[in-house]
Structure formats: C-alpha cells, structure tokens
C-alpha cells in the first residue's frame, strides 16, 4: 500500500473525528470502492486503520494489541476476497468460451431462408441462454423438395450443442441415400442412440415439402406436432404424428404422415418452448395459442412468426425459460 | 540472519499447530516481514498443519529462512505420510476450499505465497513447499 493512501486515510479519519459528518462517511464509502479497485485486501485495511490511529494520538496498548485478533480474522475474509477475484477472471474466460460455442452453434443452422414463388417460410429461433437446445434446419433440393427439421435436445448448454453438430452431420450424410422421412428418423435414431449419453434424448419432426405438388410428408420422433391451418374452412387442426423420441430405443420405427396445402393454408411447426410457457399463474393453453395464431393470419409467414414471438414474450413478462423455435410455411 | 536456523515441528495435535504458527510468526518477524505478512505466514502454516492433523494424523512442518540471489524469504515445508490427494488440480480450484475436505484452504495458501509446490501420491503422502519472499 502506498504512502499516498495512508495520508489520505489519516486525513479522512481526522476530519471525521473533528466533526463526525455524513460528508466524511460518504467519502469513506467512495474510498472503499477505490480501495477495492486497487486490490487492497481487508487485512491490509485493518493494518492501515491501526497505523492511522497512531498518527492521531496515543493509542492504548489494549487497542493496539486487539488489532492482532482483528487482522487474523480478516485474513480469512481476505482469502475469500482473493478467491472471488480469481473466480471472476475464470468466469470471464468461461463466458468468452461460451460466446465462441454460441457462434459456432449459430453456424450450424441456415443463415438465410430459401425463397419460392408460392411458398413462404417464416422462422424465429431464440435461445433461452447462450446455447440453444433447439435445432432446426431447412435444406433445399434441386427437385423442388424442401426438407425441414425441427428438434429439441434434452438438456441445454454444451452437451446440447455437441449433440446438435452430430445431428446435423448425420442428417447430411444420410440425406441423399434415403427415401422417406420415416427412414430418416429410423437411421438417425440409431446414430443418436449409439452416440449420446443414455440420459439424453432428442425429439424431432422431419419432413419434406414438395414445392410443386404442395405436399408435406413427415415423420415424428417424440416431438409435439404443430398445426395446420385450412384457409377454406378457416380452421386450425393439430397435425397428427406419433413416434418414439430419438436415442431411447435402438430399433424404433417411424410412420410417415402427409398433409397437402391448398392456397392460403399454413403449416406451423414448433418446439415446446413455444407452448410450455407460464402466463401469470397458469400455463398457456393450446387453444389460446391457436387464437393468437389466428390473429396473425393475414400477414406473411415471417411477420406472423415475429409477431407471435413478441406477443408470447409479452404475455410471459419477457421471461423465456426455454429455447423457442417456430417455423411457419404458408402457401400463397 | 546468521542466527536463524530451520526448525521442524512435529504435528499431531492442535497444540502443535499453534506452536508451528508461533515459530513461523516469530521467524518472519525476525526476517523483517510486515505485520500482515507475519499473520499470513501464520495462517499458511495453520492451513498446512491442519491438513496434516485432520487427514494424515501426523506429520511435520519445517520452517526455513532462505536466501536466493540476494532476496530473503521464508520457506515452509509440510510433510505427511497420509492418504495423499487424488486430484491435485481439484484441490487447487476455488470453491473446493469451502468443502472442508483434504486440501481445503490450499487455493488461499497458494495466493498468499510467492511459490507453491505440491507433490502427492495416493497412499503414500503429501509434501507441500511454499515460499514467501520479503518485498
């Protein structure tokens, strides 16, 4: 500790003892902040106070001796202080590693959405924390097929991110060899089952949309299927679909489902971060979600997805406890 | 420092911990360490000696005045033939120090000292050597 601090402290103490004003107390508080910035430990502060007293008058021996006890106790506080400082720098390092992981994860999903003359795609995917447990993908094929994946990986953070890259590359390598979505999930299940921790699993909806025939063929693995809006009837229907989540059982089989979209029909795919949401004291009801979807029907797929996200975020008081992904396909 | 010699204190009771602290404090005062550093030295000795007492049952603390390239310092060596530490990196992590397990308090010791060395083998024992230089 420098002489300067000591002098400053003695002066402050002297001023305070002369008048006992709130001014000096305020200065002392500010000094505390500054001393912390200078990394002055609690025990050094005790020592400083002891030395300062010697400048101000005759210090009784018992007061002087009592500082030894105080110092000894404060060393433990000092250790804790030093430990927090070191943890803080480790935390910073950890945060920057997380930022790298987060950026890497973003590179696993498509950077832009494909454009078709009579099909609109809207997408909102937001991570609750830095790393998302939701995975989605949109892959276009030369034959006019548009393959969509929407998926939720149990657990969040690094384990989800690592699982996600496995999903992406497994799907890419399987992609060209397979026939239907049911086959895709069956193979993917075997990859996932063999390679992830038994405590984890993945829910997924995978499907291919034929942009010529406007037919969506899909299969479901433990994933909540979305909605289909029928413009002619002005009604929403739950998409059908059942199947075991990926990674649970090595020989799961999946069924293929099909929906056909007419002009004005809308397909809404989502993860449970959209539906499992607390609004005040109760959970969002599926019917309510449908009514919010209904309110946005006149807009483009992207505006619809954006508005719905804002609406739900507002309803849950800007809390996003789970990763949120919604994909909207609208035939125009 | 001609009159200062290394001292070894056998540790197998709380009284021994206190005795070791006293030797360390006196020696650091004689070497010209400030009051805070004297107390930190005593705390360091406490932590090392308590680890011996609580987990190995017995061992020794050796306090040695040292001189290297004109610098004056104090070296403390804690030696025991106890259970040993399985994962040294773990005990040096912050947060572990509150667990009360073997090796607790070592992160604090490491930060108070200038040099820190630890060797440990399971079933064979642990040796910790720390040095503080007089600034």
Closest Cα partner for B28 from B78, B3, B60, B63?
A: B63
Predicted local confidence at residue B56, as pLDDT: 92
Q: What is the pLDDT of residue A124?
A: 96
Stretch A150-178: mean pLDDT: 83
Residue of chain B nearest A89, judged by CA positions: B94
> What ipTM was reported for this prediction?
0.78
Closest-CA distance, A46 to chain B, in angstroms, reads 9
In this structure, the answer to whether residues A36 and A129 fall within a common structural domain is no
- For residues A140 and A86, state if they share a domain: no
Residues A93-118, mean pLDDT to the nearest whole number? 90
A87 and B108 within 8 Å at the Cβ level: the answer is no
CATH code for the domain in which residue A34 is found? 1.10.1240.30
| Cβ–Cβ gap B42/A72 under 8 Å | yes
**Domain assignment present for A97:** no
Residues of A in contact with B110 (CB under 8 A): none
pLDDT band at residue A293 under the 50/70/90 scheme: very high
Examine the domain organization and report whether A12 and A117 are in the same domain.
Answer: no
DSSP string, A271-310: -HHHHS-EETTEEPPHHHHHHHHHHTTTS-HHHHHHHHHH
Residue A132 lies in a domain: yes
To which residue do tokens 């990196």 refer? Answer: B89
Q: Contact at 8 Å (CB) between B11 and B19?
A: no
Residue B99, pLDDT score: 54
Inter-residue contact A313 to A320 (CB < 8 Å) = yes
* C-alpha B7: how far from chain center: 13
Asked if the structure places residue A140 within a domain, the reply is yes
- Report which of B86, B48, B68, B36 is spatially closest to residue B133, judged by C-alpha positions: B68
Total structural domains within chain A: 2
In a domain, residue A314? The reply is yes
Choice among A59-68, A96-105, A232-241, B92-101 with the minimum mean pLDDT:
B92-101
Q: Taking residues A267-279, report their average pLDDT.
A: 88
Q: What is the mean pLDDT of chain A?
A: 91
> Nearest residue of B to residue A72 by CA position?
B39
The mean per-residue pLDDT over the stretch A164-190 comes to 87
Sheet containing strand A227-230, edge to edge, reads: A119-126, A324-331, A266-270, A227-230, A235-238
The pLDDT of residue A71: 94
All domains of chain B in start order, with CATH: 7-133 (3.30.565.10)
Query: Which residue would you say has higher pLDDT here, A237 or A319?
Result: A237
Residues A143 and A85 in one domain: no
* Interval A28-49 mean pLDDT: 91
CA distance A104 to chain B (A): 28
Query: Do A86 and A149 have their domain in common?
Result: no
Nearest neighbour of A83 by CB, restricted to B34, B35, B97: B97
Whether A54 has its CB under 8 Å from any CB of chain B: the answer is no
A179 compared with A147, residue with greater pLDDT:
A147
Predicted local distance difference test score (pLDDT) of residue A285: 83
In DSSP terms, which residues pair with A267 in a beta bridge?
A: A228, A329
pLDDT higher than 70, residue B98: no
User: Are A109 and A145 members of one domain?
Assistant: yes
Q: Are residues A269 and A314 in the same domain?
A: yes
Q: How confident is the model at residue B58 (pLDDT cuts 50, 70, 90)?
A: very high
Highest mean pLDDT range out of A164-178, A282-296, B116-130?
B116-130
The verdict on residue A99 lying in a domain is: no
- Is the model's pLDDT at A130 over the cut of 80? yes
Q: Is the model's pLDDT at A259 over the cut of 70?
A: yes
Q: Residue A50's domain spans which residues?
A: 3-91
Q: Are residues A220 and A140 in the same domain?
A: yes
Alpha-carbon separation of residue A249 from A193, A201, A222 (angstroms): 7, 10, 12
Answer yes or no: is pLDDT of A1 > 60.
Answer: yes
Residues on B contacting A at a C-beta cutoff of 8 Å:
34-36, 39-40, 42-43, 94-95, 97, 107-108, 111-112
A224 pLDDT higher than 60: yes
- Residue range A94-123: average pLDDT? 90
**Mean pLDDT value of segment B104-124:** 91
Reported as a single tens digit per residue, the pLDDT across B6-43 is 999 999 999 999 999 999 999 999 999 999 999 999 99
Nearest CB to A83: which of B36, B43, B108?
B108
% residues pLDDT > 70 (chain B): 91
pLDDT greater than 60 at residue A245: yes
Query: Which pair of structure tokens corresponds to residue A148?
Result: 């969509």
Say whether both A74 and A180 belong to one domain.
no
Query: What mean pLDDT, rounded, does chain B reach?
Result: 90
- For the residues A302-308, what does the mean pLDDT come to? 95
Measured between CA atoms, the residue of chain A closest to residue B113 is: A79
Structure tokens at A3: 């002489």
Mean pLDDT, residues A182-210:
93
End-of-domain residue from the set A70, A91, A112 = A91
Q: What percent of chain A has pLDDT over 90?
A: 63
Contact B39 A43 (CB under 8 A): yes
Higher pLDDT among residues B93 and B28, named by residue = B28
Residue whose token pair is 């992406």: A168
pLDDT digit string, tens, across residues A75-100: 989 988 888 888 888 999 998 988 88
pLDDT grade for A131, boundaries at 50, 70 and 90: confident
Q: How confident is the model at residue A175 (pLDDT cuts 50, 70, 90)?
A: confident
Looking at the structure, tell me whether residues A46 and A160 fall in a common domain.
Answer: no
Q: How far is B94 from chain A (nearest CA, A)?
A: 6
């Amino acid at each position: 500790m420098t002489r300067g601090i000591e002098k400053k402290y003695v002066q402050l103490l002297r001023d305070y003892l002369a008048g006992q004003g709130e001014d000096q107390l305020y200065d002392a508080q500010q000094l505390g902040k500054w001393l912390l910035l200078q990394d002055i430990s609690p025990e050094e502060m005790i020592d400083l106070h002891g030395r300062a007293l010697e400048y101000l008058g005759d210090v009784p021996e018992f007061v002087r001796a009592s500082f030894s006890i105080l110092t000894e106790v404060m060393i433990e506080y000092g250790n804790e202080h030093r430990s927090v400082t070191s943890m803080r720098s480790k935390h910073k390092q950890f945060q920057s590693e997380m930022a790298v992981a987060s950026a890497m994860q973003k590179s696993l999903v498509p950077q832009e959405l494909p454009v078709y003359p009579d099909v609109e795609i809207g997408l909102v995917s937001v991570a609750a924390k830095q790393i998302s447990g939701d995975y989605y993908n949109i892959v276009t094929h030369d034959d006019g097929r548009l393959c969509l994946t929407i998926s939720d990986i149990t657990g969040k953070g690094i384990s989800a991110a690592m699982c996600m890259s496995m999903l992406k590359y497994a799907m890419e390598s399987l992609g060209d060899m397979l026939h239907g979505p049911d086959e895709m999930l069956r193979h993917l299940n075997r990859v996932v089952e063999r390679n992830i921790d038994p405590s984890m699993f993945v829910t997924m909806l995978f499907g291919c949309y034929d942009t010529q025939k406007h037919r969506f063929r899909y299969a479901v693995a433990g994933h909540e299927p979305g909605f289909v809006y029928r413009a002619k009837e002005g009604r929403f229907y739950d998409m059908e679909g059942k199947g075991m989540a990926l990674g649970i059982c090595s020989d799961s089989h999946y069924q293929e489902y099909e929906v056909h979209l007419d002009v004005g029909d809308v397909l809404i795919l989502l993860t449970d971060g959209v539906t499992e949401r607390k609004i005040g004291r109760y959970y969002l009801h599926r019917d309510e979600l449908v009514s919010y979807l209904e309110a946005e029907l006149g807009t483009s797929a992207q505006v619809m997805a954006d508005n719905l996200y804002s609406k739900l975020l507002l309803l849950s008081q800007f809390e996003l406890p789970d990763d949120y992904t919604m994909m909207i396909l609208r035939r125009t | 420092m001609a009159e200062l010699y290394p001292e070894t204190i056998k540790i197998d009771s709380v009284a021994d911990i206190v005795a070791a602290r006293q030797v360390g404090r006196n020696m650091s005062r004689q070497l010209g360490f400030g009051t805070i550093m004297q107390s930190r030295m005593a705390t360091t000795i406490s932590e090392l000696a308590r680890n011996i007492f609580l987990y190995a049952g017995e061992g020794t603390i050796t306090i040695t005045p040292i001189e290297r390239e004109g610098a004056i310092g104090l070296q403390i060596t804690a030696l025991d033939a106890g259970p040993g530490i399985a994962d040294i990196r773990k005990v040096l992590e912050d947060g572990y120090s509150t667990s009360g397990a073997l090796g607790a308090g070592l992160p604090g010791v490491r930060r108070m000292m200038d040099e820190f060395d630890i060797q440990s083998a399971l079933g064979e024992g642990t040796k910790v050597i720390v040095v503080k230089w007089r600034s």
